[in-house]
Chains A and B, each alone.
Chain A
Amino acid sequence: MSVPRFWRKIPQRYNLEGTHCETCGRYFYPPRNLCPDCRREGTIVNHTFKGVGKVVTYSVIRTASDQFSALTPYVLAIVELEEGPRLTAQLVCSPEEVTIGMPVKGVFRKIGAEGESGVIYYGTKFAPM
């Protein structure tokens, strides 16, 4: 798969920048520019997350698409950030290490590349704390 070009320009991926609704207090990552609770009444501002959270659930991916097949087996998880929102990310730990509820922190990593000499893109993975 080739990734849409604009993705590499999304700074939110690199440093966990999301959004915050000042009207109701909810935090969003991935970022949203419309609050699902307040909708047009919501005031959305940018927010940089601390990058700490815990594992809600996980799996160990053993069959992947070409783009990720060299990484298998890798640990994929849903992480709940301290501020509330949840996101899907890889964990940089062994399959034996991961448990539900495990505290993790965000780390800047290469996520994948388009083919062998293609464009590299980066993002956030999570490591055990």
Chain B
Amino acid sequence: MRDVAVIGIGCTKFGEWWDRSFRNLFVEAGVSAIEDANLAGEQIDAMYVGNMSAGRFIEQEHIGALIADYAGLASEHIPSTRVEAACASGGLAFREAVISVASGMSNIVVAAGVEKMTDVDTSLSTDALAGAADREWEGFAGATFPGLYAMIANDYIHRYGLTREQLAQVAVKNHYNGARNPIAQFQKEITLSTVTNSTMVADPLRLFDCSPITDGAAAVVVAPLEMAKKFTDTPIKVLATAQASDTIALHDRRDISTMDASVAAGNRAFKMAGLERKDIDFVEVHDCFTIAEICAIEDLGFCKKGEAGKFTEEGATALGGQIPVNTSGGLKSCGHPVGATGIKQVCEAVLQLRGEAGKRQVDGAEIGMTHNVGGTGATVAAHIFGRG
């Protein structure tokens, strides 16, 4: 296997883009990634595009070809493949791109992610997102996506005594970071009472425990590490790429409050990188709901099971803490255009390792990790990055 590096990144501002189209968004992200990598379009060997549900959100399928076409590459006939794994679509698209370069099949590969979610009403987006879980046996019973995470939260609270304030602290911390990120959908700080007084969505999760409905696109360019220096002075090395799956339905899990796929993907990533938890300087985890971040930092081994609430409350996961979590603002503050999120996490890791993260920069960051979850944990992608 060849060593792989990220040589370019691009991301649109995340938000509600009623005046922009799906193709307009991904062209912006793709072009900025290619410019960042100092590439010409015809040098691209392949593309992988993470997208969860364009068929439901904009009634468009065949996204791989659409993106290659509107990226101006139809005449190059490059292979372009859509990757779908619900909210982990972006993380898996990135992994496919890395595998393609590592194997020697391709040299320059673009991994992109895009979702346009605001073109439908809340009821339809709720229904489309419920498709990330088991439609036949969860959706049929009236399970919504927030409802499933709410059942994780109630199980966790019951067993580990997590407090309402500790849960809210996740959102407060991520909004603090997001207020320092120009691409975030919500760039303003919030207080604990903003969260605890917001509308109840699915008990005990309130509106400010949930990531929003968002439009956005992100793209990165990967290349063999040995070629990377030709394009950039700051290649970021991919130290590990890992993926794991689990039961599609939450009710079939061994433990409702542990995502075994996160545990497995995390363990595989650490093994592949030859690193330990203490070597990680920052991590972008999948906080589609506040409880998801609590579970993620335990499942990845950054603190013991049942202790993530206290860990968060004490500031261990804040900027300047023991392990800064979601320096970008996470899904909570950046927004969660489902197919794009996994690629946006990679963009944040690259910015941090290049030392270009501005007001949210982790001092001296050398190793970073990303963690992207599909559904309630049926798919997880984990990646580890280091300075090239």
Asked if A pairs with B, the answer is: yes
Are B126 and A65 interface neighbours, CB within 8 A? yes
- Check if A27 is an interface residue, CB within 8 A of chain B: no
Contact among A57, A63, A87 with B256 in the assembled complex (CB-CB below 8 Å):
A57
- Check if B130 is an interface residue, CB within 8 A of chain A: yes
Residues in B neighbouring A78, C-beta threshold 8 A: 151, 250-251, 256
CB 8 Å contact bits of B144-164 with A (1 = contact, 0 = none) = 101110111111001000000
- Nearest chain B CB to A84's CB is how many angstroms away? 11
Contact among A56, A57, A63, A89 with B141 in the assembled complex (CB-CB below 8 Å):
A89
Q: List 8 additional A-B contacts (Cβ < 8 Å) besides A60-B203, A64-B144.
A: A30-B249, A62-B202, A74-B142, A78-B151, A87-B137, A88-B141, A88-B250, A111-B142
- Nearest chain B CB to A58's CB is how many angstroms away? 6
CA distance A57 to B150 in the complex (A): 9
CB 8 Å contact bits of A58-84 with B (1 = contact, 0 = none) = 111111111111010010111000000
Are B202 and A88 interface neighbours, CB within 8 A? no
- Nearest chain B CB to A81's CB is how many angstroms away? 11
Q: How many residues of B contact A (CB 8 A)?
A: 37
- Check if B136 is an interface residue, CB within 8 A of chain A: yes
CB 8 Å contact bits of B193-223 with A (1 = contact, 0 = none) = 0000001111111000000000000000000
Are A57 and B202 interface neighbours, CB within 8 A? no
- Check if B75 is an interface residue, CB within 8 A of chain A: no
Q: Which residues of A contact B (CB under 8 A)?
A: 1, 3, 7, 13, 30, 56-69, 71, 74, 76-78, 86-90, 95, 100, 111-112, 123
Are A65 and B151 interface neighbours, CB within 8 A? no
- Of B142, B202, B203, B250, chain A has the most CB atoms within 10 Å of the CB of B142
- Of B122, B141, B152, chain A has the most CB atoms within 10 Å of the CB of B141
- Check if B192 is an interface residue, CB within 8 A of chain A: no
Q: A59 and B249 in contact (CB under 8 A), knowing A1-B127, A123-B140?
A: no
- Check if B143 is an interface residue, CB within 8 A of chain A: yes
Are A88 and B127 interface neighbours, CB within 8 A? no
- Check if B59 is an interface residue, CB within 8 A of chain A: no
CA distance A76 to B201 in the complex (A): 13
Find the A residue at minimum CB distance from B129: A65
CA distance A56 to B148 in the complex (A): 13
Are A68 and B142 interface neighbours, CB within 8 A? yes
Are B127 and A95 interface neighbours, CB within 8 A? no
Q: Please, could you name 17 A-B residue pairs with CB atoms under 8 Å apart, sorted by A?
A: A3-B140, A56-B251, A57-B158, A58-B151, A59-B148, A60-B203, A61-B143, A64-B144, A65-B144, A66-B124, A67-B142, A77-B151, A78-B251, A86-B252, A87-B141, A90-B141, A100-B155
CA distance A64 to B121 in the complex (A): 12
CA distance A22 to B197 in the complex (A): 52
- Check if B84 is an interface residue, CB within 8 A of chain A: no
CA distance A65 to B127 in the complex (A): 5
CA distance A78 to B151 in the complex (A): 8
